[in-house]
Homo-oligomer: A and B are copies of this chain.
Amino acid sequence: MGVTAAGPSEEDAGAAGGTQSIAGVTAARAFDQATAVRRTTGGQYDMQPDPRFSPAAPSGDFQPAVNGGVLIAAMLRAVLDTSPHPHPVATSANFLRVPRIAPAQVVVTWLKQGKTAAVARTSLLQDDQLMIESTVATGSLAGDARDPVLPEAMQAAQALSWTAEPPSLPPVDECVPVEAGGGIRGQVDLRLDPATAGWMKRSPAGIPEMRGYFRLRDDRPPDAYLLAFAVDALPPVVFGLGAFGWAPTVELTWHMRAVPADGLLRVAARCRHVGGGWFDEEAEVWDSVGRLVAQSRQIARVGR
C-alpha cells in the first residue's frame, strides 16, 4: 500500500496542507515525510525515524536520535488510520529506549471503541524491541459535527465553555530567532521570548521557563500531528538553569483541546520542580486565533 499520511478524518495530511505543489509536482513536506507510516499486509505500520528532526544541543551538535514528539506524531497517524473518532484527545507515551535512525514498526491495538472515546495501545518497535509504548484516547472536539439526537442534558455539558488566560509573549518581532542548524533547528522556526533566551548566550535566566512562537520553516499548517511535535519542540526548560545536556524524556502526556487555525503557534513551557535528577516540563500551545489547542506535561532526566 501507499504511504498513509492519516485516516479518513479531517486530520488527513492532505486536507491539513501536509503536501504542497512545487512546479507541478506534489511533494510531501519534511514533517510529513518524517511522520509518514506505511500500512503493511500484516495490519502493522512501517516508519523510519528521520534525522532531520534530531534534537540539537546549544553547541549545535545533535543527537543520533529523533525528537519524541515527531515519533509520537507518526504513531498518531497509525492510530487515526483506524480510529472511529477524528482527534487524539489524550496521548500518553513512555520512552523506553532511544529509537535508532533505522526502520521501525508501529503496532496499534484497540482497547475500547466507545461513542465518546476510543482508546488504542500503540507501540513503536525496532528489531522486535519495544522503544515507545503509548496509549491514545481519541474523541471529538468542540466544533465537530454533533450527534443530531444528542440528549438535552448532554447538549448542555457539550456547550459549557471556559478558557484560562493565554501566556504573555512579546510581539514576534521582539523575539529572538533560534538560528538554523543541524537536526530540528533546520526545520523549526522558533522565536523565543527574550526573557527565556539567555541560555543562547550561555547566560541562562535562572528560571526553568521557555516561551516562543513556533512554526515549521516550510510553513506547513498546524494540525494534530504538528501539535504532537510542538509540545516537545522547545529547548528543555532546564536550559534556563544552565543544564545544557541532552534531557531524555521518560514519560510525556499531551491533550489536544481544539483544531488549530493556520498561522504561528505560541508555545509556553514551565517547570514546577527539579530534583533527584528529574524535572517536569508543562507546555501549552495556543493558536493564531487565541485558542488553547494543546497541553502537555513530561517528566525527563536532567541532562548531564
Chain A interfacial positions (CB closer than 8 Å to B)? 89-90, 92, 94, 96-97, 111-112, 114, 116-117, 119, 121, 130, 133, 135, 137, 139-144, 153-154, 156-158, 160-164, 208, 238, 241, 243, 245, 250-251, 253, 255, 257-258, 270-278, 280, 284, 292, 295, 297, 299, 301-304
Contacts and interface: CB of A to CB of B under 8 A. Distances in A.
23 contacts: A89-B250, A89-B251, A92-B94, A94-B119, A94-B137, A96-B111, A111-B130, A119-B133, A140-B277, A141-B276, A143-B276, A156-B304, A157-B301, A157-B302, A157-B304, A160-B243, A161-B275, A163-B272, A163-B273, A164-B270, A164-B272, A257-B280, A280-B295
Contacts of A121: 133
Given A119-B133, A253-B297, A292 B276 contact: no
Nearest to A151: B304
Nearest to A248: B116
B162 A90 contact: no
A241 B162 CA distance: 9
Contact of A278 (B139, B154, B238): B139
B130 A241 contact: no
A226 to B, nearest CB: 19
A275 B112 contact: no
Given A112-B97, A272-B295, A304-B157, A90 B164 contact: no
B157 A299 contact: no
B157 A243 contact: yes
A292 B282 CA distance: 15
B161 A274 contact: yes
Which 6 A-B residue pairings sit nearest by Cβ, starting from the closest? A142-B276, A92-B92, A90-B251, A157-B302, A253-B253, A142-B275
Given A255-B280, A272-B284, A302 B160 contact: yes
A299 B89 contact: yes
B162 A89 contact: no
Given A90-B94, A90-B250, A162-B241, 17 more contacts: A89-B278, A94-B111, A94-B135, A96-B114, A117-B250, A119-B133, A133-B135, A140-B276, A154-B304, A157-B304, A160-B277, A161-B274, A162-B275, A163-B274, A164-B273, A255-B297, A273-B292
Contact of A160 (B97, B133, B274, B299): B274
Contacts of A141: 275-276, 278
A275 B163 contact: yes
